[in-house]
Amino acid sequence: MPSGPLLVFGPRSLEYDFGPRHPLSPRRFGPGIELLRAVGARPGLAPEPASDAELEWLHSRDYIATVRRFSSLARGDPRIGSEAGIGPGDDPPFPGMHEAAATVAGGSIRAVEAILRGNCEHAYHPGGGLHHAMSDRASGFCVYNDVALAIARARHDGLRVLYLDFDVHHGDGVQALHYRDPGVMTVSFHESGRSLFPGTGFVGELGEGSAAGTSINVPLEPFTGPDAWLAAVRAVVAPLAAAFEPGLIVSQHGSDGHVWDPLAHLSLTTTVQGEAARLVDRLAHSYASGRWLATGGGGYAVYRVVPRVWALTWLAADHRETPLELPEPWRARWAADAAEWHEAPLPGRFDDGPDLPPAETLSSRSAERAKETAALVRAATVPALLSVAEDRGWWRFEGEVSGTWSGAAPAAEAPPAAEAARPPLGDAAPQAATAPTLVVPLMPAILDRTRLARRVVAPADPEAATSILRAALLDGATAAATFAGEWLVGLALAVPEPLGGAGAGAGVARLAALGVAPEWRRRGVATAMLTALIGELDRAGRSLVWLHTVAERDHLDPLPRALRREVAERLARYSAMTTSPAPARLASIDPDALVAVHPHAAAPEETEAHIREWLSSF
């Protein structure tokens, strides 16, 4: 496999041109590609137009014909009108529009094919990322949706795809084109649709049917700064990747969230945009076998920002440190052009300094709202066990074990030094004919003699899930488990919740995980485990609270959204738990979320109030 990411760029990349005064200008390729060359990148794939058959994977035949018709007209032709989003404004027609837009699509499709063939692990298409185009219309400077088509190409080969969008505008086209596919997860961080085009991307847009929970949006208020933005990204992206098990990551690294960008109102820096790219690289290696296609997306500070973000993205993909200073020859070459376009002086460094963003472009209220929004999105879309594992220091989902837990384990229950005693996973699977055995309470030592079956609980990797389960048990969690021979095929796990201050909620536990391997479902295993867990908690003097959201699903074969709630209600009823609507904020975005409670008979009067207060935080 060749070293370094595959850089997608060629002569035809310059043909996507709406005109000399349009914000999305091919001028960006001059300084952008030259800076990429300065850091060692060399174009390795010159894009050519995708075929109509490939475009029809997602775009309608009539729409493609419309684009072709506009493409044949000269600029200023009196026959030019408006149709399918093409016309005066964001997407004016230009001669050769079809071929130019199909070339962008072809570049991203061929890049994915190179990754699938094993010719490279990472590819970077700076001219790609046209994420607004819809099935039957152009939108937001985008004619054909190259990133959505690249995802469709990977889906054709059976890969699950995680799409991460860091552009300041919501990735509405990619979301819409894959909204009903549970094998595609779209995650978008953007300025709120209340203040910026395209007016979508709200937290409640979660996907439809069996794909509910695979459309994730984190809308941010104007003047959100770099620290709040990066904290939101880190809070959401890594655990979602761990739970989803992608075979490929596709990302869009629009630089238009930068404080110097003229078209939007976030206050980001190149520093955090580069950090986001490095996070994606780590996730690709941790969860997607290294497969990653990055695209450039939007960005309208053509000289001061776009080239630096392009370079930082490529450096992240090439696993190289960021140089301190921009090359002086590059700055000298583009200084006059930058001045002509009112972007002087050029910065001296790849990363922005501490003077950016200026204090007057930041809002403490926006920072607090970003924190609240990320927490709400996390509560609704990240499986509870993964949230608890991160919050309590049991696991880091960028692929690192923290090694510390918040509670001390009895010496006799500490995991043995010789992990080799546990049977290897291999390709084996539990046999459905094996009679299941219920074990309650589950003790940590048992985990060293057994194997966790796939698709019992998140995360998708059974080894990581086993490590989290061990950490939870050593930290005071209670579990009921079902075994088939040496395989753990079912789990109900409750963790203590310190509600109402230190010691006040000592009698309350949260149901953090409830799952059964596919071969043992619909046999009453989940009900038996939940009932046994409640009995064990009763003996310990603890009440049980279950907050069920769209996040709790089999990531490979999810049930339709309404059926998930029906199953959860049935399990709660059979286990003598009382159900009620989810907290108002959570219910407003996930109407199928619910709360189930089994109170301990001798629980203090204030326990119910503490539970209500805890739930109100979601």
Size of the chain in residues: 618
Ranges of beta strands (E only) in 342-450 are 437-439
> Count of H helices and E strands in the chain?
18, 16
For residues 210 and 213, give the distance between their C-alpha atoms in angstroms, rounded to a whole number.
8
d(CA 77, CA 87): 12
Check whether the bond before 415 is cis (ω within 30° of 0).
no
Strand 578-581, strand 594-598: pairing: antiparallel
Residue 36: exposed, middle, or buried by beta-carbon count in 10 A (0-12, 13-18, 19+)?
A: buried
105 near 58, Cβ under 8 Å? Answer: no
Active site residue 342: no
SS3 595: strand
56 Cα distance to chain centroid = 26
Per the residue annotation, which of 59, 98, 132, 598 is the catalytic one? 132
What residues contact residue 537 under an 8 Å CB cut-off, 6+ apart? 478, 494, 509, 543, 544, 598, 600
d(CA 310, CA 217): 24
b/e per residue 242-265 (b: at least 16 CB within 10 A): bbbbbbbbbbbbbbbbbbbbebbb
Q: CB-based contacts of 519: which residues, under 8 Å, 6+ apart?
A: 430, 432, 489
Buried b vs exposed e over 508-532: b needs ≥16 C-beta within 10 Å?
Answer: bbbbbbbbbbbbbbeeebbbbbbbb
Say if residues 472 and 493 touch (Cβ distance below 8 Å).
yes
Pairing of strands 184-191, 161-165: parallel
Dihedral class, residue 485 (left if φ above 0, else alpha if ψ from -120 to 50, else beta): left
- Which residues are tagged catalytic? 132
